[in-house]
Structure 1
Amino acid sequence: MINKTLGNIFKGDKVIWMVFFFLCLVSIIEVYSASSQLTYKASSYTAPVLKHIMLIVIGIVCMVVTLNVKCRYFKMATPFVLLFAVVTLLWVAIAGASTNGAQRWIVLFGLQFQPSEIAKGAMVLATAQILSALQTENGADKLAFRYILMVCLPIVPLIMVENLSTAMLLCLVIFMMMLLGRVPARQLGALLGVVVLAVALLVCCVMAFGTDEEAQKPANQTLTEQTIEQKKEDKSTVERVFHRFDTWKSRINKFLAHKDVAPKDVDLDKDAQVAHANIAIATSNIMGKGPGNSEERDFVSQAFSDFIYAIIIEEMGILGATGVAMLYIILLFRTGRIASRCENNFPAFFAMGLALLLVTQALFNMCVAVGLVPVTGQPLPFISKGGTATIINCVYIGAILSVSRSAQRKQEIIADTNVA
């Protein structure tokens, strides 16, 4: 009776369920360990992790609800989700709450969330529907490419203004979906050429018009919050529109200036996040220091979010960090197997798009933690401490599980036919 009840709740692919629960287990352990700064502010050791567990539980409830939704209803919801994404992105651009110099948050019905998280899923949903509707024997029709760009046009620029890394991540996922959807190579090649030119132009504009305040200030001088606010007030209207150029230029300069520095010459005050993340990785060894024994968590401001993978390496060692990375790889390959069993194109493209979205973001976060790419601010899905992003990611997994259920039914029908 218990097994039957659990089977009715945890439907869908069992491997994906296992991967999800392992990621949640790692998340609870590492968020509890890495939230030392939050526990100090809250005067409670358990308050941050209990809040995180509550969000995971809410996410699981949303995931169970989503996996019981049939794929055809996802298709029906596409225009409404796209409209909601555009409206909320415009809202956050006009009156969004600011975090770390970027307007990314809005409050709706008492809940604070990032519209870009919903916009990513909306774009994957729309792209999957376009690719499936315009599939031919020789691949996607040429019109599919045009329609996908038309959908991207109102969404990607709105995300890019305040969150360039998220926009780049989304564009990469959409491009990979077009590859899977067999969009003509000539169109994809032309798109790559345009993107390369656009990126080069953007970098030139950032380097020309952006201001790296960290590099300009005198040695041993720090910018106070009052000074920063005064600088913002002194900027012209045009400069305020492109205020993110300063952040992007600073990150580019830091990444390009990367060089081997003797331990005694490292300036821990100038770039504390990256420096202490490197220390955490360098002192991890193969087995790590053990859960809860991180020493660098107190010095990395986003140890529980952007740089949580560095804390995982420090506490769980190279073996543990490799295991966490493998969980995401298993998620991707398992979703690919589910997609191959789908009878229709839409659920296959939809599931693969969501899996690529989650796994690519995870790889971005890991590369930042180990210093392979500039700091992007992308959290580690299912592991980093988050708010509504955690719940939305759970909804994405629920959608993949919903697809797995329809693919499983197809296999059962084929099996019954063969037996008969």
Structure 2
Amino acid sequence: MSNTIGNLFKGDKGIWMVFFFLCIVSIVEVYSASTMLTYKGGSYITPILKHIFLLGLGLTAMVVTANINCGYFKFLTPFVLGGAFVLLLVVLAIGTATNGAQRWINIGPIQFQPSELAKGALILSTAQILSSLQTENGADPRAFRYILGVCGGIIPFIMVENLSTAALLCAVILMMMFIGRVPMRQIGKLLGAVVILGAFMLSMIMMFGHAEEKTEPNKQNLTEQVQTESKKEKEKGAIGKVFHRFDTWKGRIDKFLDSKELTPKDVDLDEDAQESYAKVAIATSNVVGKGPGNSDQCDFISQAFSDFIYAIIIEEMGIEGAFGVAMLYIILLFRTGRIANRCETSFPAFLAMGLALLLVTQALFNMMVAVGMVPVTGQPLPLISRGGTSTITNCIYIGVILSISRSAKRKQELVVEPMPQNGDATSSATVSTTDNSDRADKADNAAE
């Protein structure tokens, strides 16, 4: 029985432990933070059962992926990249809008978010380009152009409806180019272009975005508001449909840059509810936390189970629990770095590091939003927040890392055996090669 389980759950044991700890935290905190879903659906058990089902589905996908030889991932690159491109076009044409963003495709009762697939496709493509054009002195200069070409065909379609995901993906690709030893001259030029483009985009948002004006609600104002909104929609036309997210982005930037201290009576709980109650949740944790399931502020945060779940973790588990969750992602990154360092070929190493950086960077974004360090981005906490597409795709990303830890060919290192101490003058130091995988397996067996 133990052999069967061991054959099923293959790969790095440390990453498996991190995954299971994250799942435990996820189940406890999503159950605690699903008050809004309970209110809407009328059942307190249905949301958590659905979440557990999705985690189970993700675990199944992860186990299947982990048992695939990592060499096959290279052959999937053109198919995954082409499929992501087509789905991004489809979602822009006939996608379903939620919370003002058109990011989902409905397939029967299932909602699918193509940007999640696109993230993995870009990392897979970047890893293959970097590995194919590696030289003794680093990546060939052509790799930079190829990576920009691939990103140019994917990222703009993500950016239209999901600027934070596009920015996150750009940051990860940049880190992969640095790890892949792309010439620093090219990276420097890219950073300069990014700064200029970022300044241009910010100026466009501030110029053409329209923050909503707050007015006292009454029947006359409501009628005027409906008529004004209808008129604006007609005036926008095709250009307005592309840049309709400018209003949302400007509102978030204005809110973040407004450093004025608000008194409790000045807080608009209709506009600032999530950020305000997240701060209350952190402030009332009293360092040690209230205990799992004892959150009070989850009743007032609409996305407590997703975008702001880290605030609920702090409220219930205190600073120690928040630090422990953050450390799980750090351990994931370091374990993946160890796996990548042992790979003999560069493709699995770049792929593993790219996926780990994606998960950890997204987690960092989510945590910074929850504590008010950056504007609201809408990024869930990987493997903890409640989600559909994101939960399953993140499990698949972990499965890819596990597959690499299990099946990637490992470096041969030189081991110098000590000279015998029996005084035999004819004896000399011998040099032999040892496969790191054998040594790692022995270490794992000893630890078990």
For 2:29, the equivalent position in structure 1 comes to 30
Verify: 1:413 aligned to 2:414, yes or no.
Answer: no
Could you say if the C-alpha distance between residues 98 and 231 of structure 1 is closer, same or farther in structure 2, counting changes exceeding 3 Å?
farther
- Distance, in Å, in 2 between the alignment partners of 1:68 and 1:415 is 17
- Distance, in Å, in 1 between the alignment partners of 2:257 and 2:133 is 43
Shift of 1:285: 1.7
Shift of 1:408: 7.8
Shift of 1:236: 2.1
- CA deviations over 1:8-56 (Å, ceiling 9, x no partner): 1110000000000000000000000000111122211110000000000
2:215 maps to which of 201, 213, 218: 218
Shift of 1:260: 2.9
Question: Residue 106 of structure 1: SS of its match in structure 2?
Answer: strand
- Distance, in Å, in 1 between the alignment partners of 2:19 and 2:258 is 38
Range moving further from structure 2, 16-25 or 101-110:
101-110
Cα pair 1:288 1:313 within 8 Å, conserved:
yes
Shift of 1:116: 0.3
- Distance, in Å, in 1 between the alignment partners of 2:363 and 2:228 is 32
Cα pair 2:70 2:408 within 8 Å, conserved:
no
For 2:370, the equivalent position in structure 1 comes to 369
- Distance, in Å, in 2 between the alignment partners of 1:326 and 1:34 is 22
Cα pair 2:339 2:405 within 8 Å, conserved:
yes
Cα pair 1:232 1:240 within 8 Å, conserved:
no
Return the TM-score normalized by structure 1: 0.94
Could you say if the C-alpha distance between residues 335 and 95 of structure 1 is closer, same or farther in structure 2, counting changes exceeding 3 Å?
same
Cα pair 2:342 2:410 within 8 Å, conserved:
no
RMSD: 2.1
Shift of 1:94: 0.8
Counterparts of residues 148-227 of structure 1 (less than 5 Å): 148-213=147-212, 216-219=213-216
Identical positions, percent = 67
- CA deviations over 1:241-291 (Å, ceiling 9, x no partner): 210000000001000113333445434333101000000000012210011
Letter in 2 for 1:400: I
Counterparts of residues 127-166 of structure 1 (less than 5 Å): 127-166=126-165
Cα pair 2:344 2:409 within 8 Å, conserved:
no
Shift of 1:217: 2.8
Counterparts of residues 3-42 of structure 1 (less than 5 Å): 3-42=2-41
Cα pair 1:113 1:389 within 8 Å, conserved:
no
Shift of 1:177: 0.1
- Which entry has the higher C-alpha Rg, 1 or 2? 2
Verify: 1:294 aligned to 2:295, yes or no.
Answer: yes
- Distance, in Å, in 1 between the alignment partners of 2:306 and 2:183 is 39
Unaligned ranges ≥5, structure 1:
none
- Distance, in Å, in 2 between the alignment partners of 1:6 and 1:243 is 51
- CA deviations over 1:49-75 (Å, ceiling 9, x no partner): 000000000000000000111122100
- Distance, in Å, in 2 between the alignment partners of 1:105 and 1:189 is 35
For 2:382, the equivalent position in structure 1 comes to 381
For 2:244, the equivalent position in structure 1 comes to 243
Return the TM-score normalized by structure 2: 0.89
For 2:328, the equivalent position in structure 1 comes to 327
- CA deviations over 1:169-222 (Å, ceiling 9, x no partner): 000000000000000000000000000000000000011111001xx2325679
Unaligned ranges ≥5, structure 2:
413-433, 443-448
Cα pair 1:105 1:112 within 8 Å, conserved:
yes
Range moving further from structure 2, 137-146 or 107-116:
107-116
